[in-house]
Chains A and B, each alone.
Chain A
Amino acid sequence: MLLIIAMLMLALAARANETESVRLSRPVLSAAPDNTWTIDADVQVTLNSVLIDALKRGVPLVFSSEFEISRKRWYWFNEKLLSQSRPLRLSFHSVTQQYRVSQGDQLMLTTNHLDEALAAALNVRQWPVAQHAAEVQLQELMQQVAKTPEAFEIRFRTRLDSAQLPKPLQLNALTNRDWNLSTEWVRPQLSLSGSGSIQ
């Protein structure tokens, strides 16, 4: 019996990426003339009843948008050069019956409607992944990426960060597919025309 449970846990952990209810469309990585790189993406999600129930009971859901740049290496794992994430917290206030979206301590939105809250939490609008005032190293990297984008693996995804769930629910997330919500890694479309250094 123990063996079976353990095996199930492992198998389910391996299938964490399988999702059908979340869709990522048109991610665009664009560079502003001042060398600030931003990402825009639309994420449509249909929360399943388990997640909605949890949300309605007050459990905060953290949706994390993740962006990575890594150099391809044929002989080893890719070298990770840049890794950014933007966790947005969606919670339900049971007394006021309102949805709230916040980033860190900053409250971003209060609404009575789940759709609005979800859109605010998932859609990525002008997320600056590299500021123009960033360190020199990053600037150089971004210039390299702009020059030869095919040499780098650039990817983006949005997912429900189950590690941010309360601990007892993390176990549920481990064993229950309903708690796994993630888009595939997608290479965003590059729109670097704004950058002075690229064609």
Chain B
Amino acid sequence: MSLALRVALLLVVILAVVLMLLLASASSSSSALDQFYPWLVGASGAIALAMAGLTIGVVVRVWRRFSRGEFGTRIMVRLAIAFALIGAVPVALVSFVSAQFLAKTIDSWFSYGVNVALESGVSLGRTSLEGMQADALSKARRLAIMLEDVPAAQMIGTIERVVDSREGIDVLVMTGSGAVLASRSAKLGTLVPELPPIEALNRARVARQAVSVEPTTFGAERGLQVRALAMTSRVSSQGDETRFVQWVEQVPAALARNLEALNDGVRDYQELALGKEGLRKLYGATLVLTLLLAFFGALLTAVLLSGWLAGPLRQLERATKAVASGDYRPLRYDPRSTDELNVLVGSFNEMTAQLNEARELAQRSRLRLEESNLFLQQVLGHLSAGVMVMDAQWRLVDYNASAERILSVDLAQERLRSLSLLPVVGSCSDQLTRGLKDRDEIQFQHETAQQGGRTLTLLVSGSRLPGKPAQYVVIFDDIGELLAAQRSRDFADMARRLAHEIKNPLTPIQLSAERLERRLLERLGPEDAELLSRSTQTIVDQVTALKAMVDEFRNYARLPAPNPEPVELSRLLKEIYPLYSNDRRIQWPEQAGQFWVAVDRAQLIQVVHNLIQNAQDAIGDQAGGAIRLAIEWTGLPKIVAGEDASDGQWARVSVTDNGPGISADTRSRLFEPYFTSKAKGSGLGLAIVKKIVEENHGRVSLMNRSESRPSDGAGAVACVEFAKLQNAADNSDVISRDQRHYG
């Protein structure tokens, strides 16, 4: 709540307390505050008004905050209501009882009996006074009649006789013109008798008599006296003579005192009776003020206290929200104070500090985890082996780039696909799942045919990851090339040794055969001679062939490292053309074009020769046999092409025949050395092609025509492909690049 409101409330309450004390002391019978009494009452009313205004203000304020749902107002309102009830109910009760009591009490003061008694007292007093008056008047009249004929000098004797030595009686006889004829005074030392007041004389003149009661002051004593006047007039020789006789009699002091007391009592009573309403109002106002004060005090206390209570709560609530949104700053905490809320604040701060620490720890470990994950990803990505992680149902969860490369598939599309539905590895899923059912690790070699006639040889190993639910890791590596390389290295070794071992005896064999022929030819008959010479010729021929074959073996084994240079393929074919110009079955490419590639020229020529030779062998003497050579640009899938196929542009030389084609059982070993399906031949032709092409970073494939294009008839198509030379004009660059690569 605002400071102004607090101050106003406090001021009003203090003022109210002061006013109430003043009012209470002013209400007592007599006090110095009497003259300010109306002001006190007015001020109390004003204070009550101010309090009411303030209360309404506070209530409206709290209610607004309450209906806005502000935090802490609920407890505030509850407290306020509780305090107000605690304060107001007893005060209201006491006030009610007091008001009832007051009303009854005030009424009981003015009972009918008292009223009647007082009135009786008054009439009694009046009657006694009237009796005295009548007595005095009759005395005065008698004296006046007795004195009518008495000369002035003898009057005093008559007077004394009438007075009869009673006390407290003054008698005065005077003429109508005011001359005193005789007087008697009860008071000693009073020489001049008290003359009747003019007003009394006037009345006596009119009515011939007059009587009145007068207050007297005799010293400090207040008293009453009865003054009776009687007038006589008679006609004498001197003319009309008017005389006044005044009879003044003191009311006995005790009676006078009693009468005064009665008068005072009646006055007080009547004052009270008149002020009955006023009294009631007065007490009522005091009570109401007390009630209001208690009520407002309670309200003020409630508001202040609940504000004081709810303040730290609100702070805590704000801090809680702040923590929820990630703000871990500590609250203001007073280490000296020991009150519970402060302790709570302390614990809260401790909690937020710990939370903050835990959060930072979690963050740090998360970062570390991410780092190690990243590291693992990088390691996996750079593994040449394909790695796939499968879940308990053998669905693909994760994989690395090498897996995609080996399988030639975009695995992102295959996530959560079952292993058996994946290409290449799908065919070994049974083996994997069965193997890993009761073992933790399994390793086997798996061969599978791939599109394009290639056979993939994979070394697959699977292992079960610990934990529930089970996860599996499948690692596979393309070991086909490895195997092939190993095989060809083994072969080269053997060929070299074999060549060496075989070549050495060949020359002696040939020479021996020729010598035998030379020596024996003349000695033999023509029939034998012809046999001899034919046999010798056969031996020489076969030895020569054997030599050639051994050379070929050696050549294969000692194939020199390629020396790549920019080669234009169509020009190269044109150079080869004359060698086969007598074979009309070969169809040469017609279109001119620039197919620049970087290869070893001599080796490429040998590749083309071998392919044409292979095709010629395939068609043999078959009628209608045809061979077609073609050069074209082609693109390979990027994944397969690898990093060399920068934009998928490859130059392809294809040799197509319409021979019998490739049988299923031979195709997987087509490029292996010493494998041949032909009656003659070393089985090295295609092996050499493959070796050269691969060493020149090209690709070779051999498949049935129907595989590449089902509409075609029988026959095989052999393709070699080389990456397009990026900048054909800048040959030196190519050379230097190639040297860097392969040198």
Contacts and interface: CB of A to CB of B under 8 A. Distances in A.
Nearest to B260: A95
B125 interface: yes
Contacts of A149: none
B92 to A, nearest CB: 13
A163 B292 CA distance: 27
B41 A171 contact: yes
A2 B55 CA distance: 14
Nearest to A8: B45
B252 interface: no
Contacts of B259: 95-96
A87 to B, nearest CB: 12
Interface in A9-64: 9-10, 13, 53-54, 57-60
A110 interface: yes
A93 interface: yes
Nearest to A102: B215
Interface in A97-139: 97-98, 100, 107, 110, 112
Contact of A59 (B41, B274, B276, B282): B274
B41 A110 contact: no
Contacts of A7: 45, 49
B98 to A, nearest CB: 16
B48 interface: yes
Interface in B250-279: 259, 262-263, 266-268, 270-279
B38 interface: yes
A3 B52 contact: yes
Contacts of A54: 274
Contacts of B26: 167
A173 B271 contact: no
Interface size class of A (residues with CB under 8 A): 35 or more
A169 B52 contact: no
B111 interface: no
Contacts of B46: 6, 10
B588 interface: no
Given A168-B274, A172-B275, A163 B267 contact: no
Contacts of B279: 168, 171
B271 A95 contact: no
A170 B276 CA distance: 11
Interface residues of B, number: 43
A182 to B, nearest CB: 14
A5 B45 contact: yes
Given A2-B288, A13-B42, A57-B270, A94 B122 contact: yes
| Secondary structure type dominating chain B contacts | helix
A166 interface: yes
Contact of B275 (A91, A112, A171, A175): A171
A162 B38 contact: yes
Contacts of B34: 163, 167
Given A3-B49, A3-B52, A167-B34, A172 B125 contact: no
A118 B259 CA distance: 24
B49 A172 contact: no
Main secondary structure, interface of A, reads helix
Contacts of A174: 38, 41-42
A34 to B, nearest CB: 30
Given A10-B46, A95-B262, A58 B270 contact: yes
A123 B44 CA distance: 37
Interface string A45-88: 00000000110011110000000000000000000000000000
Given A10-B45, A58-B271, A168-B275, A93 B263 contact: yes
Contacts of A173: 38
A97 B126 contact: yes
A168 B282 CA distance: 8
B215 A95 contact: no
A94 B262 CA distance: 9
Which interface residue of B129, B271, B276, B282 has the most chain A CB atoms within 10 A? B271
B275 A57 contact: no
Contact of A6 (B27, B38, B49, B263): B49
B272 A168 contact: yes
Given A96-B213, A162-B38, A168-B279, A2 B48 contact: yes
B348 to A, nearest CB: 47
12 contacts: A3-B48, A6-B49, A9-B45, A13-B42, A58-B271, A59-B267, A93-B215, A94-B122, A94-B263, A162-B38, A167-B27, A167-B282
The 8 closest A-B pairs by CB, nearest first: A168-B275, A58-B267, A57-B270, A6-B45, A171-B278, A168-B278, A163-B35, A95-B125
Given A6-B49, A168-B279, 20 more contacts: A3-B52, A5-B45, A57-B266, A57-B274, A58-B271, A93-B263, A94-B263, A95-B125, A96-B213, A96-B224, A96-B259, A107-B215, A167-B278, A169-B275, A170-B38, A171-B38, A171-B279, A171-B282, A174-B38, A174-B42
Interface of B: 26-27, 34-35, 37-38, 41-42, 45-46, 48-49, 52, 122, 125-126, 129, 212-215, 217, 224, 259, 262-263, 266-268, 270-279, 281-282, 288, 292
